Structure 1
């Protein structure tokens, strides 16, 4: 009984092997028929595809032409040599304990002023001071176009009237008629970028704007302001340290301690000197910003190509859906 059953299984396998190529061939024939029918359906709906694709192409052309040119200006900066920090670094080991008591930072090269400056320039407080100082809100929030002939920014009169410095925006709370610094910062962050190369430490500041002159001016202002902010911070810190060290000198009669304190005052005086004589305190300009002649964006040809592709794919899907619905 077992041998008969085994023979029956073997015959079934042989029969399966013999039949399976025909089954695959039939399946392939069905697939070819389906693909042929799909192609025929697409061909019958070719005018739908052509018309829809043409509509998307025309719409993408009008959309691309409606976008204003955006120009990008950038400056390449290098971290300034901190000679005064090099002098302090030599005193770190000798005066570390006393300096810590006096509240003076003798970290030398360990103090990353470049990193601190980059974080400050990205901060909300820096932007608020920058926006108020240079009155950039209209150029940031209300620009409509740029007149090349007269080199003037054209404002949207429904938003801002430059003659009266009056804002007319219609917004819902919590937004205000005049943009707040928080709202303006979000817009500014989309146009502004600052990057540092890992190998050389070079810093690139870039700004995008509808006017190449405004973009260039903002980059110049940003570089000037961050140098000024860092200069003021170090100057105030050095002055406080000197005042404290002088008060400690008055409290001690030990000649050795007085000598050390005077040397610490001398190092802080060097910091004050560098702050007074250096305009480019943290960053030195290697390649200054220029008024760009060529636009940065939009990529109008790419927009049109994507519009045509989208129209072609969408119209093809519509034709296939109509075909499948007609089969039911």
Structure 2
């Protein structure tokens, strides 16, 4: 083989050789070499981890503590709201027993609907649903916290002032800080309904162990009173509405009956005059037709007696029997005595509220562990970057 053929074979081998083989061998990392690099930078890892431990321990010990008190409630029983439930049923019975509108189906249906709504006001399921909604209401949370001494003490400790109602530009920052803290506290007041068990888990987060349970109990009582007040106001509104409706109906029926009496009296007087002028003294049969305007067939004596009787009528229910029914119903509603039942409870405890055993935050051990792990990972990253940069510069 000539020298030229040998050179051509060598060039052909260079062409067939993969172009990435050399680079691949240069970039290949040996695991032992990687461990050696990490070991060489062990003092960096120790230093960063030590700083992380010190910093995380300092932060964990000085961070604001948060405690979450919890409780569980279920729907109340009828005996928990017995007095108000009995009153609503009593009013419903009064309205249903005295059927005011026998000849008016629309009004009769309206009366039955009002009676149904009255009873439902103090149904255990209705009260419990209202309790959950009121517990999670942002307005109720805000009203409770703004008047609570523990929340105000926390604001004072954080040097956050309660903004005035007047919106001034100078108070903008103070108002913003206040709203941030207020919203932060409000988010930690929760009632969570479990559809499978029909239980509701209540929770309230506070800055101290004792205050968390105390605040949750106070808030539960606050919401219970709020539900009671709302339902009683609705109940009294229903009763007042029924009274007003009865009063209007009674007045209109009295006017209608008085007008009918006046017309009947006037027709009888006209009939008396006709009978007197015609000499018809005694009763005559078949003298009047059924649609006759004046009943002169009664005769002068009977018509005179009828006039005297009509003039003596004082009770208009003789002409309008519904007046008596409405008067009885209105009198029964006016004589109702509404008891302030302080034992009213729109829930029943399944688990009473007690002081929490463990902090919700900060998780001190977890903070230290995570900070140490992050510091270790950072030190390894720095070591590898420094090693590869140094190696590249040497090549």
Q: What interval of TM-score do these two structures reach, taking the shorter chain for normalisation?
A: 0.5 to 0.7
Cα pair distance change 1:292/1:37, threshold 3 Å: closer
Offset, 1:138: 2.0
Offset, 1:241: 0.8
Give the unaligned 5+ runs of structure 1.
1-18, 143-154, 161-170
Give the unaligned 5+ runs of structure 2.
1-15, 97-105, 162-168, 254-320
51-60 or 277-286, larger mean C-alpha shift: 277-286
Per-residue CA distance 1:237-260 (angstroms, 9 max, x = gap): 11111111122223056749968x
1:78 to 74, 78, 81: 74
Identify, as 1 or 2, the structure richer in strand.
Answer: 1
Per the alignment, residue 147 of structure 1 pairs with none
1:45 aligns with 2:41: yes
Offset, 1:42: 2.2
CA RMSD of aligned residues (A): 4.3
**How many matched pairs?**
274
Per the alignment, residue 8 of structure 1 pairs with none
Offset, 1:301: 1.2
Cα pair distance change 1:48/1:178, threshold 3 Å: closer
Offset, 1:225: 0.8
Per the alignment, residue 372 of structure 2 pairs with 308
- SS of 1:186 mapped into structure 2: helix
Offset, 1:293: 5.0
Offset, 1:179: 6.7
Distance 1:203 1:36 in 2: 58
Per the alignment, residue 115 of structure 1 pairs with 129
Cα pair distance change 1:297/1:229, threshold 3 Å: same
Per the alignment, residue 302 of structure 2 pairs with none
Distance 1:114 1:139 in 2: 32
Cα pair distance change 1:190/1:230, threshold 3 Å: closer
Cα pair distance change 1:136/1:323, threshold 3 Å: same
- SS of 1:282 mapped into structure 2: coil
2:69 and 2:203 in contact (8 A); partners too: yes
TM-score (norm 1): 0.66
Per-residue CA distance 1:266-322 (angstroms, 9 max, x = gap): 8xx79x65xx32534312233322234543432211111101100001111111111
Cα pair distance change 1:322/1:179, threshold 3 Å: closer
Larger radius of gyration: 2
Offset, 1:24: 12
Distance 2:74 2:177 in 1: 34
TM-score (norm 2): 0.56
1:96 and 1:106 in contact (8 A); partners too: no
- SS of 1:238 mapped into structure 2: helix
Per the alignment, residue 56 of structure 1 pairs with 52
1:199 aligns with 2:213: no
The 5 Å alignment of 1:259-274 reads none
